[in-house]
Amino acid sequence: MLKNLCQKMFGRSLWVYHANSGGCNGCDIEVLNALTPYYDVERFGIKLVGSPRHADVMLCQGPAMRSTAQALKRAYDAMPAPKLVFAIGSCACGGGLWFDSYSVIGPVEKIIPVSYYIPGCPPRPEAIIYGVAVALGLVDKKTAPVAFKELELPIPQYHPGDLRGEGELVVYEKAEKV
Amino acid sequence: MSILSKLGETLVCLKAGRVTLPYPAEAKPLPEKFRGRPIFDATKCIGCAGCANNCPAREILVYDVCQEIRILKYLGRHCAYCGRCADVCPEKAITMSQEFENGTNQIGDIQQRLELFMSTCQRCGRCFKEPSVLEQLKMKGYRFDDLENERWIFRSQATLKGEPAVDDLKIELD
Ligand code: SF4
Ligand code: SF4
Ligand code: SF4
């Protein structure tokens, strides 16, 4: 649904506003790198604007900090709908390495709703472009949660609750030899 | 005059050639030591929790749901891709992969969860992963087991059925 909305609303061009709410500047440099002639995202109609009022997309870097959370919220409110928020970097996605320090509130999604996440510290410019392409529905996301589960335990399960009998003779119900 | 200078500029531009990388069409090869997402190998991991201790972002959670099962969870939210977990892992169960295109609309997509079966030491009551150097500890007397019938006993009543996929944000707030 989000994808359809994106394609409909942002079909022609994305104007991005770049908000740093307390990152270390690493992600800013990567975002700016994506805008340089080397990666040249203006090929795809992505353009950096200086005011949230002109923007379709907010690129958030850095965690929500105590000192900047209000400003971030105001910038988000100033953006005209429909709006997307991209959390770029581990700080914006999860609060960063210092997610539990006194001045850090946490990931930006605690303050503003985030639509897409681009983890990395910092993410490569390619990763940022890839994330935007995922949002535009040009490519499919590559990640999926991985879970390894030991479906069959390597030992037979004998729960103490299955113990029957008293004294010398104690046997298991449902007993099976290995 | 101005036309001449513009022409000169054009010449300079033409001489510079093209620098734009054809990224979406064809990816630039990654540097050899590039560290992407850490990938956990459940068959090698012995559940020692060294990675969890060494992670500066406290990104790897290890908890025992019952005596025999240890859960190792990599959340991926604030991982700094520093590679310290891979450095410290004694079994080399973690590889820093070259995957970096991790853009997603659900943050849960990058998490990994291993459920490891642990044997129990009868002396100290702690768990250890069974196929390992500690294999020798599987001598009788080191396990809770049914010595008469030579069977192992699953001590706990806990089962994993119905356990919800733990929401990482909730864990973080704990
Ligand atoms: S994610 Fe890493 S590079 Fe980006 S702002 Fe945070 S600490 Fe800096
Ligand atoms: S790469 Fe670094 S931050 Fe990420 S899980 Fe490993 S030790 Fe933690
Ligand atoms: S991944 Fe390596 S360091 Fe982490 S618990 Fe498993 S064996 Fe230990």
pLDDT digits (tens, 9 = 90+) for B103-147: 888 877 788 888 877 766 656 666 556 555 555 445 444 444 555
In a domain, B6, yes or no: no
Buried b (16+ CB within 10 A) or exposed e, A109-130: bebbebbbbbbbbbbbbbbbbb
CB contact under 8 A, A121 and B80: yes
Q: Give A54 or A161, the one with higher predicted confidence.
A: A54
Least confident of A38-52, A143-157, B155-169: B155-169
Is the ipTM above a cut-off of 0.85?
no
Q: What is the CATH number of the domain that holds B90?
A: 3.30.70.3270
Round to the nearest angstrom and report the end-to-end CA distance of chain A: 51
- In terms of Cβ atoms closer than 10 Å to its own Cβ (0-12, 13-18, 19+), residue B65 is middle
Between the alpha carbon of residue B127 and those of residues A82, B121, B146, the distances in Å are: 52, 6, 18
**Is B92 domain-assigned?**
yes
Number of structural domains chain B divides into: 1
Q: Which ligand is nearest to the CA of B88?
A: 3
- Residue B157 has φ and ψ, to the nearest 5°, of -90, -10
pLDDT value for A177: 46
Interface test with B, best of A90, A115, A116 (most B CBs within 10 A): A90
Q: Is the pLDDT of residue A104 over 80?
A: yes
Residue B22 lies inside a defined structural domain of this protein: no
d(CA A155, CA A19): 54
**Count of CB atoms within 10 A of residue A146's CB?**
16
Nearest chain A Cα to B114, which residue?
Answer: A148
- Name the phi and psi angles at B112, rounded to 5: -130, 145
B104: domain range? Answer: 29-135
Structure tokens at B125: 């009551």
Residue B65 in any domain: the answer is: yes
B44 in a domain, yes or no? yes
